[in-house]
Structure 1
Amino acid sequence: MAASNSAELKLQFAPFSSALEAGFWHQLTERKLNDYRLDESPKCIKGYYYNGDPVGLPTRLTLEFSAFDVDGSTPAHCCEAVGKLYNTNTLDAFKSTDKKALLDRESEELWAAIQSGDALTDPRILCRFILLTFADLKKYHFYYWFCFPALCFPEGIKLIKEPSVLTTVFTAKQISALQEAYDGLCIKGSTTAVPYFLMKYTDDTVHLAPLAEWGTFFAGTQKVAVGVYDPCTLSQHPGWPLRNLLVLLASQRGAKVDTVEVLCFRDRTLQGSRSIQHSVVFHVKLPELPSDSACPKSVGWEKNAKGAMGPRMVNLSECMDPKRLAESSVDLNLKLMRWRLVPSLDLDKVVSTKCLLLGAGTLGCNVARTLMGWGVRHITFVDNAKISYSNPVRQPLYEFEDCLGGGKAKAIAAVERLTKIFPGVNAEGFNMSIPMPGHPVNFSQATLAQAQKDVEQLEKLISEHDVVFLLMDTRESRWLPTVIAASKRKLVVNAALGFDTFVVMRHGLKARQNGSGDADSSPSCSSASSSSSTPAGSASSVPTSSLFSNIPGHKLGCYFCNDVVAPGDSTRDRTLDQQCTVSRPGLAMIAGALAVEMMVSILQHSEGGYAVASSSDDRMNEPPTSLGLVPHQIRGFLSRFDNVLPASLAFDKCTACSAVVLDHYEKEGFHFLSKVFNSSHSFLEDLTGLTLLHQETQAAEIWDMSDDESI
């Protein structure tokens, strides 16, 4: 600070104290995650300072949430300060950054602007800053070091006399004229605060002008007076913005200026009344600058809270909503994947996908956990079972306590556990049954009404979601959602387990409507594999290879396209081991994870569910998405740790997705469905033509035998 003795008075400046608000760090977090990523190049930001603070407050440079909008407005009665943000990717990089080099580089740019005259036409150049940061976005610890570059004279700046409060230098009339002149200068500049200005005055008048008029404003006078919008509240010292202005004036030697009168303009509002009487006047003798035009030495790095040269750290984890912290951390894990490995990954498409999980058992739990790992926020469960004692060891969303008292409903308990794991998830559970073929619903009026209610609820849920996962433990329970999803053109991902085999597949999507309103025609396969009597949880009914390749999404088959019999009651008269899905413990985790990964790959394809199916032959070709292939099916064999990628065409006599089934469903609704539920499997076989196909096949076999006998 200023020192006074009998020999001389020296001018010292109150340094800036950085004030980085929480909004700034929130914005930095968003920019780091969505824009900067791993880019460490300098970014332009903006702060501001205010000259109306009461006595006792430090000289503050404030950065808030608007700091990244450089072209945005500055708060009223504040001066802007433009700076450079250097955000490092690691704490080591933050520590090892050459701070002197940063300061020297900025100082040289400042000195060049002073010598060229650019600083006169754009005085904002005189008030620039540097901000070096590291953001630990997992802990929400922010390390930063602020610098306000200031050029130095080779020797100290001398005061000709003691600083004077404005009221001891100006009369009341002059003070009023000064205030009016400053307001006029602001209006002329379309702002509420002017950082620097030229000044001349008489006993009755005060004239102000921008620095750009330096060459003409003082014509005919040797007295030079300037003003600075001063954020300092001390009566004996000016604020930091004056430093570079004095260097600018000293470089203007063409005017032979040795002494300068400086008005530190302070505009406060006290008790509702505006006053500039706290402004301070300094009479300064300008030292000589080096004659070799070399950039003067510079200072400006801020001291830390202990008064030593060093960075500061702010911990926002305690003042932030823990749920918000969890969401940001989940997003960070995914965005690191995009920054480092897959720049084209469309995370927003994944995160915004609404997923309906039909089944909250072993597959459902594993699928849900993997979906959350991908940042999916909207997950809905449908299941009618309760948690049993055998479940928690295989189904990771449940614990022993969930089994007590008869067991909690799986769909509800799964939602509770997801919310505990990640509060940012939007999870919902429905404890309801899915009506199935071969499971009659006409026992009573109440049973029929409940079935209709369940169908309507399922239709509503499928309509509201983007992807439907079929994760149930019976084959027939997958029929109704397959029909509804096909009708509504919803992407279906199906996962089924055997003992050591699994199948994960996407259903083909119904053809898009063409311009005339008719559906695009698509040829379908007229043959299918032989039927299987295995449970729905088994994968053995799916062919392990395919003669077809390059099949577009609207021609792909569904889970039932490989059957030549309609689904029926698969649990009747079954022993315990046949009713349960008996599989190797790791199989559900593998199949569940692959089901989600298949969905994500589909979402990354420009055609989505209509994408051409990748096959095993495509493994050496250029992948269609940033994540790789988009298969129709993944057929896995755990015993030999092998996967194949078959693809199959839709079956025109499919009991679930064929045109005749969808047409009856769309026209007759629940009336048609109730026929399916209450009839034997022959109803669907008759409807789709499977019965006729069987008869023709049998006739052909008899004909072949007759030919053989005749030979």
Structure 2
Amino acid sequence: MASDSREATSSTADFKLQFAPFSSALEAGFWHQLTQKKLNDYRLDESPKSIKGHYYNGDPLGLPTRLTLEFSAFEEDGPTPAHCCRSGGTLYNTNTLDAFKTIDKKALLEKETMEIWDAVCSGTALKDPSILCRFILLTFADLKKYHFYYWFCFPALCFSEGIKIVREPSVLDQVFSAKQIAALQQGYDDLCIKRRITAVPYFLMKYTEDTVQMAPLEDWDAFFTGAEKVTVGVYDPCTLSQHPGWPMRNLLVLLAKQWGSKLDTVEVLCFRDRTLQGSRSIQHSLVFHIKLPKIPCTTACPKSVGWEKNVKGAMGPRMVNLSECMDPKRLAESSVDLNLKLMRWRLVPSLDLDKVVSTKCLLLGAGTLGCNVARTLMGWGVRRITFVDNAKISYSNPVRQPLYEFEDCLGGGKSKATAAVDRLTKIFPGVNAEGYNMSIPMPGHPVNFSQATLSQAQRDVEQLEKLISEHDVVFLLMDTRESRWLPTVIAASKRKLVVNAALGFDTFVVMRHGLKKPSTSQSASAELDSPSSGSSSSSSSLTPAGSIPGASLFSNIPGHKLGCYFCNDVVAPGDSTKDRTLDQQCTVSRPGLAMIAGALAVEMMVSILQHSEGGYAVASSSDDRMNEPPTSLGLVPHQIRGFLSRFDNVLPASLAFDKCTACSPVVLDHYEKEGFNFLSQVFNSSHSFLEDLTGLTLLHQETQAAEIWDMSDDESI
């Protein structure tokens, strides 16, 4: 039991009343909610916020008088736990520890007590007695270390001469008969039901030998008409046998201000409702007879007290370190997104992080590009990452592929897909990562028609179709051009966003594929009746060589009319690794190129997700760099083509090619109608099969004829 030296220092033998102050009790759930509020809602806002706590009058003897705040403290209109009294409060959450230390605490207390005093003088406290038991909470949350600094204040108005009691308090069963106690208990329950709250903080009471009547404070004049004796009840959370709890303090100020001129003494029942050995008991409630001080009508707001002492018994704040008691996995879960949430405080307030974090990403390729894309995705908070790769880790990989180490190369090498999953999980256990060690069937790589081999190819296709269906974004990060054909077709058919990244020696291309509108192939054909994006000569390099014919001639292209990776070629994909030297079989690039391209691929995806139209957004071009960006993160390009030798990027945009060997209507129509039968023909036929199907063969013939005709004209001159 503690008391305020400015009010009363004598014991009960001196007939001065002392009060047991509140002791703050904050559950871990409160700090978790404060963390979320700070990161997502308050950010840099230091304005006062309304919160709530509760106190309970059924604690066993010896426990402190607790005011509890839990996870629901920020739900001002939320429910209060059963048999608890609600207490409203004001939260002042500072942005820095220095602000926490230097804030004017005296001014905060005076402001709150003035509001209580005004409610007492105006009679507002009679209609809403919860005003009498408010609190202030001053906090600073160090979200890097999970250290929370806090200081509670329970404002209480003081009588200058203290409060005298007529005689020592009595236990309830010394004053009331068993019949009266039963009636008192029933009367309080009925009042709670009538008021539709779990516990009534203050009430009026009249009783005889046989009956007990109760009413709210606002019914004073009607309830006590002609009564000689006045009894007031308070829901008392104190467990001490000789002292009342803190909620009585401001109640006595209200009584003295409103009726002190008419009343000399008042009987106060400290209602305590415990459950002992499974049985409810209110017999340990206390009865006080108090002499009310006189408060002149002209009296200004009295002095006040209320700041809680720290654990050492001195006036000062407290600190709780949750990093030591939190589950490390949950701690990591909260911490990994800290940088992202801080972006929204000043830099990008409109950033939709939920859309990014919930995106399911499929990475086809777990090599240099795949590793860098995965790490950047985790940096953006993406939780669902799936790898597909059939290679094993070799000794040349770890220095360029950041998810692998030397030990992964031993014994023939671990599977890249599964090793990448293991490493992501070690980096952040909260990631939901999967790996599939499987091959992707490719044009120009015939499937053996033996039953076993054919069945395996079919299973690989079915597995790839399933994976693409289950994910939102597909990243094409493979080593060969032809390995990108099948996922391009499947993703186009399933209307999935595709982000493609490919490397040259010191050049790269990062692009999003056009996202087909959900419609039949016939209507899709009508949408693609605009001019082709042009063509380029066949190249076995992943990055289309030379210039990009027509790519920069178009602007304002909507997402559903954008080309895919194969739209710039007039030849079908084939076996690009056949008869090639070692340097031609490997992707020989400047070491930093994959990191740049991988990061840009993810950043492009995030920018697309921030656009209201997503993958259907109009493509930004280099000409748009000086214009108002379409998203909070900037432009949404179709392609980013980088030239590391001159440290330059360009943003071309190109239309879909109606004779594309991957995304044209005729290819998608055959795939959707014939399924694996069509695909097996592509795998086992030469590139002429797709070229004949799409009309490229005829285009070649017409082009050749035009060249011959032009030559003939030249010779005749």
Q: TM-score range by the shorter chain?
A: over 0.9
2:522 and 2:217 mapped to 1: Cα distance?
A: 69
For residue 677 of structure 1, what is the aligned residue in structure 2?
Answer: 683
Find 1:598's aligned residue among 595, 599, 604. 604
Kindly report the root-mean-square deviation, in angstroms, between the aligned alpha carbons of the 2 structures.
2.0
The one-character-per-residue Cα deviations of 1:554-584 (angstroms, maximum 9, x if unpaired) are 1111111111111111111111111111111
Q: Which moved more, 1:83-92 or 1:108-117?
A: 83-92
- Letter of the structure 2 residue corresponding to residue 40 of structure 1: E
For residue 342 of structure 1, what is the aligned residue in structure 2?
Answer: 348
- Letter of the structure 1 residue corresponding to residue 46 of structure 2: E
Alignment check: 8 A CA contact 2:260 2:292 kept: no
Find 2:401's aligned residue among 395, 400, 409. 395
- Aligned residues, how many? 711
Q: Which moved more, 1:687-696 or 1:580-589?
A: 687-696
For residue 110 of structure 2, what is the aligned residue in structure 1?
Answer: 104
For residue 156 of structure 1, what is the aligned residue in structure 2?
Answer: 162
Alignment check: 8 A CA contact 2:166 2:289 kept: yes
Q: 1:443 to 1:172 in 2, by over 3 A?
A: closer
1:216 and 1:572 mapped to 2: Cα distance?
A: 101
The CA deviation at 1:333 is 1.6
- Letter of the structure 2 residue corresponding to residue 258 of structure 1: D
1:583 and 1:30 mapped to 2: Cα distance?
A: 43
Q: How is 1:243-262 mapped onto 2 (pairs within 5 angstroms)?
A: 243-253=249-259, 255-262=261-268
Q: How is 1:354-365 mapped onto 2 (pairs within 5 angstroms)?
A: 354-365=360-371
TM (norm. structure 2) is 0.96
Find 1:666's aligned residue among 662, 672, 675. 672
SS for the counterpart of 1:261 is strand
Following TM superposition, the consecutive aligned residue runs of length 4 or more in structure 1 with deviations greater than 4 angstroms are 1-7, 514-520, 537-545
The CA deviation at 1:539 is 5.8
Alignment check: 8 A CA contact 2:373 2:598 kept: yes
Matched, 1:47 2:48: no
Q: How is 1:135-174 mapped onto 2 (pairs within 5 angstroms)?
A: 135-174=141-180
Alignment check: 8 A CA contact 1:439 1:678 kept: yes
Matched, 1:571 2:571: no
Alignment check: 8 A CA contact 1:20 1:63 kept: yes
Matched, 1:433 2:436: no
Q: 1:540 to 1:100 in 2, by over 3 A?
A: farther
The CA deviation at 1:27 is 2.1
For residue 118 of structure 1, what is the aligned residue in structure 2?
Answer: 124
Q: 1:611 to 1:198 in 2, by over 3 A?
A: same
Matched, 1:492 2:506: no
Alignment check: 8 A CA contact 2:534 2:550 kept: no
Q: How is 1:126-137 mapped onto 2 (pairs within 5 angstroms)?
A: 126-137=132-143
The one-character-per-residue Cα deviations of 1:523-559 (angstroms, maximum 9, x if unpaired) are 2434622213242256657559521111111111111
The CA deviation at 1:221 is 3.4
TM (norm. structure 1) is 0.96
The one-character-per-residue Cα deviations of 1:641-681 (angstroms, maximum 9, x if unpaired) are 10011111111111111111111111111111111111111
For residue 227 of structure 2, what is the aligned residue in structure 1?
Answer: 221
For residue 458 of structure 1, what is the aligned residue in structure 2?
Answer: 464
Q: Which moved more, 1:96-105 or 1:625-634?
A: 96-105
- Letter of the structure 2 residue corresponding to residue 451 of structure 1: A
1:315 and 1:270 mapped to 2: Cα distance?
A: 35
2:21 and 2:260 mapped to 1: Cα distance?
A: 30
Alignment check: 8 A CA contact 1:200 1:208 kept: yes
Q: Which moved more, 1:341-350 or 1:65-74?
A: 65-74
1:83 and 1:558 mapped to 2: Cα distance?
A: 58
Matched, 1:635 2:658: no
For residue 271 of structure 1, what is the aligned residue in structure 2?
Answer: 277
Q: How is 1:496-507 mapped onto 2 (pairs within 5 angstroms)?
A: 496-507=502-513
SS for the counterpart of 2:137 is strand
Find 1:329's aligned residue among 332, 335, 338. 335
SS for the counterpart of 1:504 is strand
- Letter of the structure 1 residue corresponding to residue 222 of structure 2: T
The CA deviation at 1:467 is 0.7
1:27 and 1:571 mapped to 2: Cα distance?
A: 56
2:329 and 2:520 mapped to 1: Cα distance?
A: 45
SS for the counterpart of 2:90 is strand
SS for the counterpart of 2:351 is coil
Matched, 1:187 2:193: yes
Q: Which moved more, 1:136-145 or 1:700-709?
A: 136-145
Alignment check: 8 A CA contact 2:362 2:385 kept: yes
Find 1:16's aligned residue among 19, 22, 41. 22
The CA deviation at 1:516 is 12
The one-character-per-residue Cα deviations of 1:173-217 (angstroms, maximum 9, x if unpaired) are 333332233233223222342111122333443332211112232
Alignment check: 8 A CA contact 1:532 1:540 kept: no
SS for the counterpart of 2:702 is helix
For residue 88 of structure 2, what is the aligned residue in structure 1?
Answer: 82
Alignment check: 8 A CA contact 1:246 1:286 kept: yes
1:544 and 1:266 mapped to 2: Cα distance?
A: 84
Alignment check: 8 A CA contact 1:502 1:538 kept: no
2:328 and 2:548 mapped to 1: Cα distance?
A: 46
Matched, 1:196 2:202: yes
For residue 307 of structure 2, what is the aligned residue in structure 1?
Answer: 301
1:508 and 1:491 mapped to 2: Cα distance?
A: 8
Matched, 1:386 2:392: yes
2:276 and 2:705 mapped to 1: Cα distance?
A: 105
Q: 1:80 to 1:511 in 2, by over 3 A?
A: closer
Q: How is 1:496-645 mapped onto 2 (pairs within 5 angstroms)?
A: 496-513=502-519, 521-526=527-532, 528-536=534-542, 540=546, 542=548, 546-645=552-651
Q: How is 1:50-69 mapped onto 2 (pairs within 5 angstroms)?
A: 50-69=56-75
1:141 and 1:7 mapped to 2: Cα distance?
A: 44
Find 1:205's aligned residue among 211, 215, 221. 211
The CA deviation at 1:375 is 0.5
2:83 and 2:715 mapped to 1: Cα distance?
A: 107
Q: Please, which runs of 5 or more residues in structure 2 have no aligned partner?
A: none
Alignment check: 8 A CA contact 1:4 1:10 kept: yes
For residue 448 of structure 2, what is the aligned residue in structure 1?
Answer: 442
2:247 and 2:260 mapped to 1: Cα distance?
A: 24
